Amino acid sequence: MPYCPNCNAAVDDGALLCSACGADFGPESAWHPGSSVDRASHSLTYVVGKSMLYLGYGLLTLAWLVSCVGSRKSGLAVLIGFSASLILIPVVVLGHVLVAYSHKTTGDPTAS
């Protein structure tokens, strides 16, 4: 059963309009109903990607703070902050890739 990318309501195969929210699935529209399989993989990829982004940016900010504040006292804080940044940057990049991939697979123009 396909799902509406706007409101997640089940829609009929080949439907041109969502009966729940009125979203347009016509040939001119960017919205197309996704299958339930696409939807499951979309939400998992999207949630994992977004989690990595928030976690990555949050910890990256913390790492920079630690290295800036701690640098007055010892070089160890700078080393820890720098090492953490090296680990976190790939996490953030992968998060962006996962979120972009989840958008591409569903073609939902409203997701952010």
Q: Is 7 in the site for Zn ion (CB under 5 A)?
A: yes
DSSP 30: S
Helices marked H in the chain — which ranges?
Answer: 36-70, 75-106
Q: Please report whether residue 21 would count as binding Zn ion according to CB under 5 A.
A: yes
The C-alpha atoms of residue 8 and residue 36 are separated, in whole angstroms, by 10
- List phi, psi (to 5°) of 34: -100, 155
Question: By CB under 5 A, which span of 2-10, 70-78, 86-94, 104-112 interacts with Zn ion?
Answer: 2-10
For Zn ion, the closer of residues 18 and 98 by Cβ is 18
Which of 1, 16, 20, 40 forms a contact with Zn ion (CB under 5 A)?
20
Q: Which residues bind Zn ion (CB under 5 A)?
A: 4, 6-7, 9, 18, 20-21, 23
